[in-house]
Structure 1
Amino acid sequence: MSKKVVKTAEIANPLSDEEAANRLGTSVTRVRTLIRSGALAGKQSGKNWLTTTEAVEAYLETGGAKPPEDRPRPKGPLPEIKALSFFSGAMGLDLGLEKAGIHVLLACEMDKACRRTITANRPDVALLGDIWKYSADEIRDAAGLQPGEDIDVMVGGPPCQAFSTAGARRGFKDERGNAFLRYIDLILEMRPKYAVIENVRGLLSAPMAHTPHSERAEGWVPDPEEKPGGALFHVLQMLRAGGYGVSFNLYNAANFGVPQSRERVVLICSRDGKKLPHLMPTHSQDGSFGLPKWRTLRDALTGLDAKSGDHDHENFPEDRLRFYHMLGPGQYWKHLPENLHREALGRSLDSGGGKTGFLRRLAWDKPSCTLVTSPTMPATDICHPEEHRPLSIQEYMRVQQFPDDWVVCGSMSDRYRQIGNAVPVGLGEAVGRAIRAHMAGNDARPPVGFTYSRYKDTDEVSWEAQTRKVMGLDAAPEESPSGAARLPKKASRATGKVTPSSVEVGAA
């Protein structure tokens, strides 16, 4: 396969060999070897070795950079509080736990770019790939744990596309949904003191199974498994049958000091059968409850020069750029002259909803909108408040609270995707603080009446009451952390193990 050659003399801002090594997730020596051999476009200039962003991306596109292989954790002393991370991504959740004093021994991640990122930043963390390929004993061994040694925390954000409100909603019939069940089975087999499950809001309403419209006969009536909430209800039964107390809610990360409005479901499971209190907020939208107001985009980007040549970013197409020249901070397509609405949005103008993501400039004095995996998709534009460009990689990192020196490897699109998919560090830290408090016997509760998100009935008690009604099941016993419905035993869809994990008509 031919390689795209980029001459560094044509590029205003070349990359150093160290910067290129970070992008590729390899060593400086390897980068110099690649440049010397011609595999990576670049040159030696005196004592410096230079390449370009374009050359690095071309090298990645041709498959030249091999992802790191699986590896065990190097031998050495173990931290006081030990965690295993699954579906680790760029390690946003793991970094948050670290800030709370919980340290990850092992990361399980298949994505090639993410594996490079993990290796570049945490080379002393064990690295595994496909969650299906490893037994519980093999995972323990890779993490450097002895057989039977207690695991303090297991954390994971299983692939969310199977439950996303924007996707096909195939639930556990989707291969990614089955990875979710595999994670639950590992929790029940490895029995950590605490387990964390993070996911999108769609998990609250996702069915456990889904019959495509093309397969529904006239008069079709959904089974309980196909009703809204079936997937999460199924997971709760599995965890409770295993003796875990489970609390959850839909949390807006802005309530935990994150300069971004981003809502995610977080379940915290405790092996002692007790339910942890909901997360303790550190901020509130209007400064109520004696808390500081939400942090803003201005807070996040302070210290970053928006016009600096150090910023890496995608570009908007020219036909969109001309409209951005007419918009100020915090404005979007509706602020254009009315006679330009049709031209600006085309057929999308006739679609439903507010279309607030079209031609959207962020406001300085509000949190960022939810970061997505690309800031240039027409329906989810994320434009800088003043510059005529999307938020840069460096700005994405600030909004998600990654350290400035955190290395995110891969092409431009790989880097946006990793950061956009990550759990904000501040939300991860709030989870870690809740676990540490419970470990210490301090179950301080959040202020009475605090609103975590814009939606209702998202905590485990009110959500389950509503879901049982929808599914035609009896009400759950009040405040019973292990009060799971008595369900017939049935093989787990993930592993074939017999667990009380099915939701059936009359199962309560």
Structure 2
Amino acid sequence: MGHIPEVLTTKEAAEKIGVSEQRVRALLRCGALEGRQAGKQWLTTEAAVQIYLRDGAANPPEDRRRAPGKIPKLKALSFFSGAMGLDLGLEKAGMHFLLACEIDKTCRRTITANRPDIGMIGDIWKYDARQIREYAGLRPDDEIDVMVGGPPCQAFSTAGARRGFHDERGNAILRYVNLILEMRPRFAVIENVRGLLSAPMVHTPHAERGPDWVPDPEERPGGALMHILGLLRAGGYGVSFNLYNAANFGVPQSRERVIMLCSRDGQKLPHLVPTHSQNESFDLPKWRTLRDALEGLDPAAGDHEEFPEARLRFYRLLGPGQYWKHLPKKLHRAALGGSLDAGGGKTGFLRRLDWNKPSCTLVTSPTMPATDICHPEENRPLSVQEYARIQQFPDDWVFCGSIADRYKQIGNAVPVGLGEAVGRAILAHIAGKGKRPPAEYPFSRYKGTDEISWEARTRAVMGLDPDPGTSKRKSKRKARQAATAKAKTRQISLGFAADMEAA
């Protein structure tokens, strides 16, 4: 007779691992801990618990094809999916995702826990267009409505070395663009950090620049995005983009991201339509706050890391909405150390959030010294659950991995509300009811980040001729303005003549 494995309940497993029962159920759902569901109860084994304690998790999910089933009307594919924040937003707008592409092991567990029936692939360089269709459960002639993706952004980060397209992570965006051109979806979405607007094609680190260094033409700011635009336009796609603050779309967080909307019909989609404004301007409700985000969430039930005592001594002196500058001046040196002499405002140090404002941008860890994020009242970082609320994930969305893993997944995600705004813009274009945002609406802290202003400025800096399309648009606009002025002049003249005749 074979050995019968010792079966454990979630309570028994929780005691052995040293976590809550809720956490054990999450581990089971995402496959990090092997087990099975019997009715409403989850069961695991002593052997599975020992593997988890030894290795940290079971083997990550393998690449898989989408489960057989009806093909939805609006078909979407997700790339660089992460924890699926952007995808959830488009789902809320009416899209249906057939496949996720993600190489990170912990994110793959998260995707499997929440969307076990969709297809999943890992390394984007190992699959061609035909194979991606197969894994998504699509026939060769099935239309793909939307491809969405946020390629790794480290290569374009203003805080990094900015190696640009010579960095393997930078090439990820080119791989994604080439797949768009090969797979020909009706619409494509590219999400990235603000640094994409100024990233060059090539970057020489400052340490390698000698006294006679002269920048290569490929090192001019904006070269990377200009190259991407050229590829997409040559492929027949109309492209619009802007830098958007997620708070303008109902997200209780101030977070700026570049969103590019690409349309195969060659038309440019309007910029995203905001739902909120900072000061109730444009007849829109005020930005949602941290208090709105955390309403009804039990703060005692959250998982969170801890600040070191050396930092807590300063946090105890700070109230909601304050940061290191609100400490007594005599403590500034002790609080920041050598960083006090660094340039910039150092606004990321010792931050307590304000209940009545949106959260700051969530980072991949709330306990890092220069970017720490403290609860408005309690002397602790925000919890994983509070992170998820601020990014607008559903409360039942399962995040796999350690606390650090979960912070990272959520911090890297696109807020759900911003994704929903993208979905609404695409659906409105499909329906022929494209709505435009209010004129002069401030989408972010910066001006001139839309595709027209950005390209005109970048071409001038790079010494390039004006974009022919832009020149034609300007000519047409001037012609319309001249015609309108002429008509008004004629109308005034006729009115004056009539008045003279009546006199």
Q: TM-score, normalised by structure 1?
A: 0.86
Give 1:92 shift.
0.2
Q: Distance in 1 between matches of 2:340 and 2:412?
A: 28
Give 1:191 shift.
0.6
Give 1:322 shift.
1.2
Give 1:348 shift.
0.8
In the superposition, relative to structure 1, how do residues 276 and 329 fare at CA in structure 2: closer, same or farther (>3 Å)?
Answer: same
In the superposition, relative to structure 1, how do residues 215 and 167 fare at CA in structure 2: closer, same or farther (>3 Å)?
Answer: closer
1:466 equivalent in structure 2: 457
Among 8, 12, 15, the residue aligned to 2:15: 8
- Alignment of 1:84 with 2:91, yes or no, is no
- Alignment of 1:322 with 2:351, yes or no, is no
- Alignment of 1:29 with 2:36, yes or no, is yes
- Alignment of 1:338 with 2:329, yes or no, is yes
* Aligned partner of residue 115 in structure 1, secondary structure: helix
User: Where does 1:410-489 land on structure 2 (aligned, <5 Å)?
Assistant: 410-479=401-470
Q: Distance in 1 between matches of 2:434 and 2:122?
A: 36
- Alignment of 1:69 with 2:80, yes or no, is no
Among 349, 352, 368, the residue aligned to 1:377: 368
CA displacement 1:311-353 (0-9 Å, x = unmatched): 1001101100111111110011111111111111111111111
Partner AA of 1:111 in structure 2: D
Indicate conservation of the 8 Å contact 2:35/2:48, yes or no: no
In the superposition, relative to structure 1, how do residues 16 and 248 fare at CA in structure 2: closer, same or farther (>3 Å)?
Answer: closer
In the superposition, relative to structure 1, how do residues 482 and 411 fare at CA in structure 2: closer, same or farther (>3 Å)?
Answer: farther
In the superposition, relative to structure 1, how do residues 345 and 442 fare at CA in structure 2: closer, same or farther (>3 Å)?
Answer: same
Q: Distance in 2 between matches of 1:300 and 1:293?
A: 14
1:353 equivalent in structure 2: 344
Q: Distance in 2 between matches of 1:138 and 1:37?
A: 34
1:39 equivalent in structure 2: 50
Among 137, 141, 152, the residue aligned to 1:144: 137
Q: Distance in 2 between matches of 1:13 and 1:477?
A: 62
1:504 equivalent in structure 2: none
Q: Distance in 2 between matches of 1:183 and 1:136?
A: 11
CA displacement 1:14-35 (0-9 Å, x = unmatched): 5564233146545543985443
Among 106, 113, 116, the residue aligned to 1:120: 113
Give 1:474 shift.
0.7
CA displacement 1:2-56 (0-9 Å, x = unmatched): xxxx99389685556423314654554398544356515xxxxxxxxxxxxxxx6
Q: Distance in 1 between matches of 2:145 and 2:429?
A: 12
User: Which stretch of structure 1 is more off in the superposition, 89-98 or 336-345?
Assistant: 336-345
Q: Distance in 2 between matches of 1:145 and 1:235?
A: 27
Percent identity, aligned pairs only?
Answer: 71
1:20 equivalent in structure 2: 27
User: Where does 1:271-282 land on structure 2 (aligned, <5 Å)?
Assistant: 271-282=264-275
Q: Distance in 1 between matches of 2:288 and 2:49?
A: 47
1:211 equivalent in structure 2: 204
In the superposition, relative to structure 1, how do residues 454 and 157 fare at CA in structure 2: closer, same or farther (>3 Å)?
Answer: same
In the superposition, relative to structure 1, how do residues 439 and 315 fare at CA in structure 2: closer, same or farther (>3 Å)?
Answer: same
Give 1:223 shift.
2.3
Indicate conservation of the 8 Å contact 1:196/1:269, yes or no: yes
Among 82, 87, 100, the residue aligned to 1:107: 100
Q: Distance in 2 between matches of 1:292 and 1:449?
A: 17
Q: Distance in 1 between matches of 2:155 and 2:456?
A: 24
Partner AA of 1:404 in structure 2: D
Q: Distance in 2 between matches of 1:172 and 1:482?
A: 31
In the superposition, relative to structure 1, how do residues 478 and 15 fare at CA in structure 2: closer, same or farther (>3 Å)?
Answer: closer
Q: Distance in 2 between matches of 1:12 and 1:368?
A: 28
Give 1:476 shift.
1.1
- Alignment of 1:192 with 2:182, yes or no, is no
1:402 equivalent in structure 2: 393
* 5+ residue gaps, structure 2: 1-12, 475-503
Indicate conservation of the 8 Å contact 2:80/2:151, yes or no: yes
1:232 equivalent in structure 2: 225
User: Where does 1:240-319 land on structure 2 (aligned, <5 Å)?
Assistant: 240-306=233-299, 308=300, 310-319=301-310
Partner AA of 2:446 in structure 1: Y
Q: TM-score, normalised by structure 2?
A: 0.87
Partner AA of 1:39 in structure 2: Q
Give 1:220 shift.
2.7
* Aligned partner of residue 65 in structure 1, secondary structure: coil
Give 1:153 shift.
0.4
Q: Distance in 1 between matches of 2:134 and 2:265?
A: 25
CA displacement 1:130-167 (0-9 Å, x = unmatched): 00000100001111111132110000000000000011
Partner AA of 2:27 in structure 1: A
Indicate conservation of the 8 Å contact 2:14/2:20, yes or no: no
Indicate conservation of the 8 Å contact 1:260/1:369, yes or no: yes
Partner AA of 1:172 in structure 2: F
CA displacement 1:438-463 (0-9 Å, x = unmatched): 00011211011101000111000000
* Aligned partner of residue 67 in structure 2, secondary structure: coil
In the superposition, relative to structure 1, how do residues 272 and 87 fare at CA in structure 2: closer, same or farther (>3 Å)?
Answer: same
CA displacement 1:393-435 (0-9 Å, x = unmatched): 0000000000000000011111000000000000000000000
* Aligned partner of residue 62 in structure 2, secondary structure: coil
In the superposition, relative to structure 1, how do residues 190 and 335 fare at CA in structure 2: closer, same or farther (>3 Å)?
Answer: same
Question: What is the Cα-based RMSD across aligned positions, in Å?
Answer: 2.1
Indicate conservation of the 8 Å contact 1:240/1:481, yes or no: no
Partner AA of 2:218 in structure 1: E
Would you say how many aligned residue pairs link Structure 1 and Structure 2?
Answer: 458
Partner AA of 1:351 in structure 2: A
Partner AA of 1:75 in structure 2: P
